[in-house]
Structure 1
Amino acid sequence: MVVDDSAVIRGLVSRWLDAEPDLKVVSTAPNGAQALRLVAKAEPEVIILDVEMPEMDGITALPELLKLVRGVRVLMSSTLTQSGAEISMKALTLGAADYLTKPSSTREANAVEAFRQELVAKARALGEAARRRSSFLRSTPAAASSAPAAAAAAPLRKPSSLYGGAAVTTRPAGALRPQVLAIGSSTGGPQALSTLLGPIAARLDVPILITQHMPATFTAILAEHIAKATGVAAAEAKDGETIQSRRIYVAPGNHHMIVERQGTSRILRLTSDPPENFCRPAVDPMLRSVAGVYGGSTLVVILTGMGQDGLQGSRAVTEVGGTVLAQDEASSVVWGMPGAVATAGLCTSVLPLGELGTAIERLVKGPAMAGVR
């Protein structure tokens, strides 16, 4: 379903999506009020929802749309501005799955094509995720109401896939106590980051490095949200700054964030190297550099996201003796990034988002081992 007050945008988006053999636009609407009248009959799996519209805007319509269609994934569409970024972040906290940033003009061919590619990729991924979840809940109704098992006293357990998909194998945790926590995330990541770090960040005596797939402007606002959720100093990383414990560093949009050793210090570098996995910032460059500097005392967590970014970096971490955890399919908006590392056999554990914090704390606060670098 496409909801936008611009007839031009509705037409473009509808044509792009209908041109894909596996996608179909079931309805369109010029504002949120009209979308509410149409959505129950249309039963979309994904809604492309504009932020600014007359009569009823996207933020007002969002929670009502989520109530009317169980399991629908909402993709917010906004301009790449400070205001647009703040509204998109608010939408994510209200239950939107992801966002799109509109090109400033339909005359900018490269920007329009990039928008089209992002739109199609995200609509497809969110639709597939919604379909799998719906299929699972129909086949096992009890799963819809079952709560995650308490993890406080349990050992790091082997994973299971909610949908019975690809098999995963696990490996032992690294022998060294972690001195850094590196997190990679994409679609669904902003919500997952706050949920994961909110209860535990203030109790972790290690630096936390985050690469979230986001454009410039958005990453600064993400850092502010994380700081509020955790009570820990969080900000976009600055080139050349020394890494300190009990601080959270977010890779700024359009820059890779990597770690270098400088004497006895570890510092952050921002680079404009080419995108990896079609992303900048990308998770793989961060993880490769962390593996090179922190070695086996690296702890990696891969959260919800499209694609496979983080797979090669996680492999580099395990090769030097570090530990990788991943979010499970059940709690992920899209099980692309965590699924890639899980099915590659790189993880010590694959856990629901609500259990990952306990696992992180147990590893970080475990007994110090000799030979920590």
Structure 2
Amino acid sequence: MQKIKVLVVATSVMMRKQISNLITEDSIIEVIGAARNASEAVSMVQELRPDVVTIDIEVPELNSLVALSSIMSQRPTPILILSSGTKDGIVATITGLQNGAVDFISRPTQLYGLDLSHIKDELIFKIKHAAQIPLRTLILNNITVSKVITGQQAEDNSKTECIEEFDQIIAIGCGVGGPKALEIVISSLPANFPYPLLIVQHMPPKYTKVLAERLKRFSSVQVVEAKNDQLVLGGTAYIAPGNCHMTVVQQGQEYRIKLHRKAPVNGHRPSVDVLFDSISGLKSLKQHLILMTGRGNDGSRGMLNAKQAGAQSTLVESQETSIINEMAEAAMALGCVDDEVPSHLLASKVMEVTGELANKFDK
């Protein structure tokens, strides 16, 4: 069997050594080089042509993000981020994911030492999966690469006004590859989009808050991390907090978000199935369910139940743009999918199924 060639990027000598030693314990992985900074990483990718690159994000050292963007623009390669889990590290990780990295692994901060042995299995697993991502998928996902936007610039963006009355709702589920896919979809919705979007992204606590803040900067609709008992308004996207299931309930003429920490479903909390099940119970609303890139089968059962209960539309991201297509495939296997759509066309499809595309041309 052909070995997976990995380039390790980290500013710390100890970090480069530990990562290299850990991943080469698997006989199918070969470390072909180790870079200590952005310029070395970019040149070594061109010279060595690795199958996967691991980048340790150390903030405020932003050269890692420079390397990531340069690699994706010059020679697209699956990149895994090792994130310290600090506030700055989380921001850098989300930025990296939106600039082309395919996945991340949270590692201990140096405060707790540099023993990475407990992440070995996850790291090896994700390297093997990253190596299988087609080049075409990487290219399609990085035709438009995110740019860091300052807070002042974010304030200048035109935003949708919150709308209290609506008759349709959109629910979205995604996992690996989701931050970039969500950016592509949410940022493409117009400033007058009138319906709420409820989103489950498989991600730990703290990361979802930063994801919501980043998406808000790129989008014309409002984007927030959801809070318990929050009023659902049209023109707003609500991201489920990490480690919390998110549901929507009707109270009189209002719809409110309810968060809880019951047992994980399909190995996830938040779970897409939990969200989809609650959405399918909102009989007075037209429901549109979307499954995007992600690992496993979370959301497929909920989509089937919603379809059988009369959901208006059920969509999945097509394989050509999905970093991992397992969630969509699981739903398709159940026969509950109306259409497959690449990520860059999903916003237009949402406009179509909600009738907003026709309304736009009528105006």
Q: Shorter-chain TM-score category?
A: 0.7 to 0.9
Identify the match of residue 87 of structure 2 among 78, 82, 91: 82
Partner SS, residue 293 of structure 1: coil
Q: Which residue of 2 aligns with 1:36?
A: 42
> 1:167 is matched with which residue?
none
Give, in angstroms, the shift of residue 180 of structure 1: 0.7
Q: 2:347 matched to 1:342?
A: no
The reply on whether 1:91 has 2:96 as its aligned counterpart is yes
Q: Percent identity?
A: 27
Q: Does residue 52 of structure 1 match 2:97?
A: no
CA distance 1:199–1:57, change in 2 (3 Å): closer
Is 1:33–1:55's contact at 8 Å kept on the other side of the alignment? no
Letter in 1 for 2:212: A
C-alpha distance 47-209 of structure 1, shift in aligned 2 (>3 A): same
CA contact (8 A) 1:213 1:279 kept: yes
Alignment of 1:311 with 2:300, yes or no, is yes
Q: Is the 8 A contact 1:73 1:130 kept in 2?
A: no
**Equivalent residue in structure 1 for 2:343, among 343, 353, 361:** 353
Structure 1: 4+ residue segments shifted above 4 A: 53-56, 105-112, 131-134
Q: Per-residue deviation at 1:204? A: 2.9
Distance 1:355 1:285 in 2: 26
Partner of 1:19: 25
- Give the AA of the match of 1:73: P
* 3-state SS in 2 of match to 1:27: strand
* Separation in structure 2 between the aligned mates of residue 52 and residue 105 of structure 1, nearest angstrom: 11
How many residues align? The count is 325
Contact 2:137 2:323 (8 Å CA) reproduced: no
Classify 1:108/1:61 alpha carbon distance in 2 versus 1 (closer, same or farther; 3 Å). Answer: closer
* 1:234 partnered with 2:223: yes
Which stretch of structure 1 is more off in the superposition, 90-99 or 239-248? 90-99
Aligned to 2:197: 208
Contact map agreement 2:186 2:221 (CA 8 A) in 1: no
Q: Provide Cα deviations, 1:320-343, integer angstroms capped at 9, x if missing partner.
A: 121210111111222222232234
Task: Within 5 Å, give how 1:153-164 maps onto structure 2.
Answer: none
Aligned partner of residue 106 in structure 2, secondary structure? strand
Change (3 A) 1:99 1:274: same
What per-residue deviation string (whole Å, max 9, x for no partner) do you get for residues 29-82 of structure 1?
33333333432343212111112289983112222323453x311112221122
Task: Using structure 1 for the length normalisation, give the TM-score.
Answer: 0.77
Q: Secondary structure at the match of 2:278?
A: helix
Is the alpha carbon distance of 1:111 and 1:242 closer, same or farther for their aligned partners in structure 2, counting shifts above 3 Å?
Answer: farther
Structure 2, unaligned stretches of length 5 or more?
A: 1-6, 141-165, 358-363
In structure 2, what residue type is equivalent to 1:4? A
Q: How much has 1:272 moved relative to structure 2?
A: 1.2
**Partner residue of 2:123?**
119
Which structure exhibits the higher relative contact order, with contacts defined as CA atoms closer than 8 Å and separated by 6 or more residues?
Answer: 1
Is the contact made by 1:78 and 1:102 (CA closer than 8 Å) also made in structure 2?
Answer: yes
Return the match for 2:69 from 38, 57, 63: 63
Within a 5 Å distance, the mapping from 1:214-225 to structure 2 comes to 214-225=203-214
> Does 2:331 correspond to 1:327?
no
Residue of structure 2 in register with 1:6 after alignment: 12
